[in-house]
Chains A and B, each alone.
Chain A
Amino acid sequence: MVHEYQNLRRVYLGIVIGLFIILVARLAYLQIFSWDTYYRESERNRVRDVVIEAPRGLLLDRNGEIMVDNRPAYSVSVIPYEFLESQSATSLLASILNESSVELVKAVRKEKIGNFSAVKVKRHIDFSVLSSIEEYRLDLPGVFYAVDSKRYYPAGIRAPHLFGYLSEITRDELSQVEDREYRMGDLIGKNGIEIIYEPYLRGQSGVKYIEVDVLGREVRELPELAGSSPQSGKNLYMTIDADVQRYLEKAMEGKRGAAVVLDPSNGEVLAIMSKPDYDPEIFSNPLTPEIWSALINNEEHPLYNRACQSLYPPGSIYKLVLAAAGLETGLIELEETVTCYGSYRLGRRQFKCWKEKGHGEVNLLDAIQQSCNVYFYKKGLDVGLANWSKFSRFFRFGSKTGIDLPNEGSGLVPDAVYFDAKYGVKKWTRGLTLNLAVGQGELLTTPLQMAYFAMIVGNEGTAFRPHLVRKIEDPNTGESIEPGRERRQIVGISKSTYRTIKQGMYLVVNGPHGTGRASWVRGLNVCGKTGTAQNPHGNSHAWFIGFAPKDNPKIAFCVMVENGGGGGAVAAPIARGILTTYFRDNQLALGQ
């Protein structure tokens, strides 16, 4: 056997040597003899993968009007390999973009991943920049511009607190996202609907392969290398009524404040507004420290979402909660009256009513209609802090409503435990209760919570989670999902209590002495409550909440104007505008 093997061994060793010599020879031919041919070729025909961004989903109002759309925009990108090598490219591009070349190079070095992946250096460039880049192509190796898209707002509604905006993903965010779908330079939703519904709105990018020359300029597309088509993001049919929203944009212009309008039958948010706001476009390009600090330090705090993030004392509208607590516990009787002489004395202090001369003898319905403080001061003491806190919590004050917007505030419902902690046990007095009775003091709510409360009263005990999207549609397949409504039953308060409060609210708008008559609408049984919340920094905050019509309400709302003055004078007229706008276009709603 051994001898046979010797022969065989020689044969096969010979074959092996032969094969390897062939390979080595061929490689030497390619890499040594033909090196310059292939090197030149490699300089000429390189392949790049280009990401094709998918169109982002649109936001439409409840009637199908497009509120947030996409529009083509140009952006400038560089391929680090060619760009950083060239002195002329870096300084020329920097001057075209009006930036310092040192900063530009630093940013590219910092953002790049490898030398061959494109880095976006500026988005949404204008035409003059584009034409300069085109003109100086030959001196800008590695620089190219491409079309992508930016958001625009065809319905005339900017509402950055509602919609949010798009901005480039940061390295931190990139590491948190599991999906390899995101790359540096991608836009991601920040704030508002754009961030909450990011997974739906963002489509799936496609990729195509192009051949580029040594300067990184596209030579031709390569269809033979199979790329992939982009998939559009899903469109959101929102619950917003664009007409109401537009009305609020105008009505609140120049003011500071918020408005929230809900459909009480399902919790759909018909409008939500916070002013002042800002131009979301400032976030398209990386913020300079100057712009950012200008925003943060702006005294008007435009970044706050006053509708659901900021907290305010609600003032007189909160008297309704006390009324509910009293009726339910039997500590308030309908016919019982209190005489208001303009102030109430507790200990050594005088607590004023807003009408100097007093309201005279008033029962519950009168007190609600005319918003008498004295009645509620007295009843506040009768009902007591514990009951008041308990019923506040029944109405879900102090908790978030669960709306699909980020950073919702929960508000604050103080109770004995809270005051003990804050002031010390037995170091606080019933005077605090008095303040809370009229919605002042440590009590804090959001306008959203107040609209939610209006919904509860209007529905006589049923609440629905406020939500902003009624349908999510995939434009690629036509399939859609509807999130539907989420019902929550409010316990602890009986129908008769609700009916009484409703009657009081009806009188606020329709009664002869109602403080909210400015929101009266013919043929619509509007119910409401005014609030004028004092605050130490200036004028009172003007509040008005309500719903309409009285039975089976179709709309519930809250309007708040910061430092606006009287609720009846300032906020109620805006509410009227909401109602006329909504019902003018909704004959169906009025008919019922």
Chain B
Amino acid sequence: MSAIRNFDVGLVIAVVLLITFGLTAIYSATYVGEKQTEFTKQLLWAVLGLVVLTAVVVTPLKSYYKNAYLLYGLSVILLVVVLFVGKGAGTRRWIALGPAWIQPAEFAKIGTLLALSRYLSNEHRKLDNLRELTVAFAIAFVPLALVMKQPDLGSALVFLALVLPVLHWAGLSPAILFVLLAPLASLLSAFNYYSFLIVMILLSVTFLLCQRGLTFFLVNFIINIGVGILTPIVWNLLKEYQKNRILTFLGLVRDPHGLGYQVIQSKVAIGSGGLLGKGFLDGTQTHLRFLPEQHTDFIFCVIGEEFGFIGVFLVLALFFYLVVKGIRISTSVKSKFSSVVVFGATIIFLFQIFVNIGMTVGIMPVTGLPLPFLSYGGSSLLANLILVGLILNASRKRFEYL
């Protein structure tokens, strides 16, 4: 059957292994004796997810192309709805459907990816004019803004991280990419007059080197100055805890008893695991329920503490395999739409993996992004399995044009 041919079994195995790691870690992290509700729930979601994955794989790619904007629209509607009826601790992130709570932000990632891919894969796309770029950014920024309102900074960042590489992949010229990234440099250097001055000089020189004319130079120059001026203003508008998170991460505020505490405990848990780990269910830090998000955002700590460097390396190897496979597949498919979809999905994984694990080891700020396939959370698991399904689907049909 052509359904079985070209099916990338390795990918599926890798994902299943990752889910298994996740279930093991969740079991340990939520161990209170007889009742194991989180473990059971995650298991059920995994089974459901695999069924959904199969459905995603057998649906023809054309359907995704056709319905891309529709799915995008639906996910945006859900994002609006959750702002009104959503639940969460002080946030509005979940919609409660009886016993299951779903997180629209996770599914919006899929919707946005599909819409973006469709828009960018149109053969008339040149991506060198303002209109096209605005539309592309808008597709990503609408959900980003809605997610920010929940508030869920971590998930919002995914949309941002998605957009630039995907544009690049779809053909955006490096020059334009640079123009787009320049304000980021301005932003980061805006806190210090000297650093800002140096960065502005460097940027201005580079703009001139682009040789695109006076308008080009002036527009960019003004934009970057503007960012530099606005940044301190926006900074003051940030909520206290958000400021603290960033500062703590940057090491500018030493707060070992407050927000820094989570990361310190995380590093201690991971570091103390050593080469071989302390063994299943014997992680001293894990079992002390020191983080309310232990079975979600900080699930990696459980692996680190109980299974050591060996365990952690295995997980990273599986993730590496997943990401590299993704990139390979995205370069070997014939249709541009599929290529962008697969690439975008891979970027989503890469971003979440790096940010989450980076957070647990103290090289990224605490953002509340779940670790794909391992963190406890039905919506996240399901959405990630759908993304894998899309990758598998594209891989099967790689010899076809859409």
Contacts and interface: CB of A to CB of B under 8 A. Distances in A.
Contacts of A49: 288-289
A224 B320 CA distance: 36
Chain A contact residues, majority secondary structure: helix
Given A114-B287, A117-B32, A47 B327 contact: no
A423 interface: no
A22 B165 CA distance: 20
12 contacts: A5-B339, A8-B168, A12-B169, A16-B323, A23-B361, A26-B358, A30-B267, A31-B312, A42-B305, A47-B289, A114-B32, A184-B33
Contacts of A296: none
A12 to B, nearest CB: 6
A589 B400 CA distance: 97
Nearest to B33: A113
Interface in A23-64: 23-24, 26-28, 30-32, 34-35, 37-39, 41-43, 45-49
Contacts of A184: 33
A48 B285 CA distance: 9
Given A27-B309, A41-B272, 13 more contacts: A4-B171, A9-B327, A12-B169, A16-B320, A19-B354, A20-B319, A26-B363, A27-B313, A31-B275, A31-B308, A39-B274, A47-B265, A209-B290
A186 to B, nearest CB: 13
Nearest to B272: A42
A20 B323 CA distance: 10
A28 B309 contact: yes
Contact of A31 (B165, B304, B330): B304
B336 A1 contact: yes
A13 interface: yes
Contacts of B213: none
Contacts of B272: 35, 38-39, 41-42
Interface in B235-258: 257-258
A250 interface: no
A507 to B, nearest CB: 65
Interface in B260-294: 261, 265, 267-275, 281-282, 284-285, 287-290
Interface string B160-175: 0000010011010000
Contacts of A1: 336
B270 A27 contact: yes
Interface residues of A, number: 46
Interface string A76-99: 000001000000000000000000
A116 B331 contact: no
Contacts, number: 130
Which 7 A-B pairs rank lowest in CB-CB distance, beginning with the nearest?
A: A38-B271, A113-B33, A42-B272, A47-B290, A30-B271, A116-B287, A47-B288
A184 B32 CA distance: 11
A16 B324 contact: yes
A180 interface: yes
Contacts of B289: 47, 49
A39 B271 contact: yes
A116 B284 contact: yes
Contacts of B267: 30, 38
B287 A224 contact: no
B271 A34 contact: yes
Interface string A478-505: 0000000000000000000000000000
B200 interface: no
A6 interface: yes
Chain B contact patch, size range: 35 or more
B327 A41 contact: no
B268 to A, nearest CB: 5
A81 B287 CA distance: 11
Contacts of A13: 324, 327
Nearest to B266: A30
Chain B contact residues, majority secondary structure: helix
A225 interface: yes
Contacts of B274: 31-32, 35, 39
Interface string B290-325: 100000000000001100110011001001100110
A298 B261 CA distance: 59
A550 to B, nearest CB: 60
Contacts of A339: none
A408 B283 CA distance: 51
Interface in B351-365: 354, 357-358, 361-363
A23 B315 CA distance: 12
A115 interface: yes
Contacts of A30: 267, 270-271, 304, 361
Contacts of A5: 330-331, 339
A13 B329 CA distance: 12
A35 B268 CA distance: 9
Interface in B340-399: 343, 350, 354, 357-358, 361-363
B285 A42 contact: yes
A41 B323 contact: no
Interface of A: 1-2, 4-6, 8-9, 12-13, 16, 19-20, 22-24, 26-28, 30-32, 34-35, 37-39, 41-43, 45-49, 81, 113-117, 175, 180, 184, 209, 224-225
B35 interface: yes
B275 A23 contact: no
Nearest to A23: B357
Contacts of B339: 5
B271 A6 contact: no
B268 A42 contact: yes
A45 B319 CA distance: 32
Given A8-B168, A114-B281, A48 B288 contact: yes
A46 B285 contact: yes
Nearest to B277: A31
A8 B273 CA distance: 38
Nearest to A16: B323
B7 interface: no
Contacts of B34: 113, 175
B320 A32 contact: no
Contacts of A20: 316, 319-320, 323
Nearest to A13: B327
Nearest to B313: A24
A42 B284 contact: yes
Contacts of B33: 113-114, 117, 184
A9 B270 CA distance: 33
A293 to B, nearest CB: 31
A81 B339 CA distance: 53
Given A5-B339, A8-B169, A12-B327, A24 B316 contact: yes
B141 interface: no
A48 B271 CA distance: 20
Given A13-B324, A20-B320, A26-B363, A35 B271 contact: yes
Nearest to A40: B272
Contacts of B261: 224-225
Q: Give the interface centre of B261, B288, B309, B343 by most chain A CB atoms within 10 Å.
A: B288
A26 B361 contact: yes
A184 B362 CA distance: 37
B31 interface: yes
A11 B31 CA distance: 43
A42 B301 CA distance: 13
Interface string B24-64: 00000001111100000000000000000000000000000
A37 B165 contact: no
A493 B24 CA distance: 71
A514 B213 CA distance: 125
Contacts of B288: 46-49, 116
A141 to B, nearest CB: 13
Contacts of A32: 274-275, 309
A42 B264 CA distance: 10
Q: Give the interface centre of A12, A19, A48 by most chain B CB atoms within 10 Å.
A: A12
Nearest to A6: B331
A23 B284 contact: no
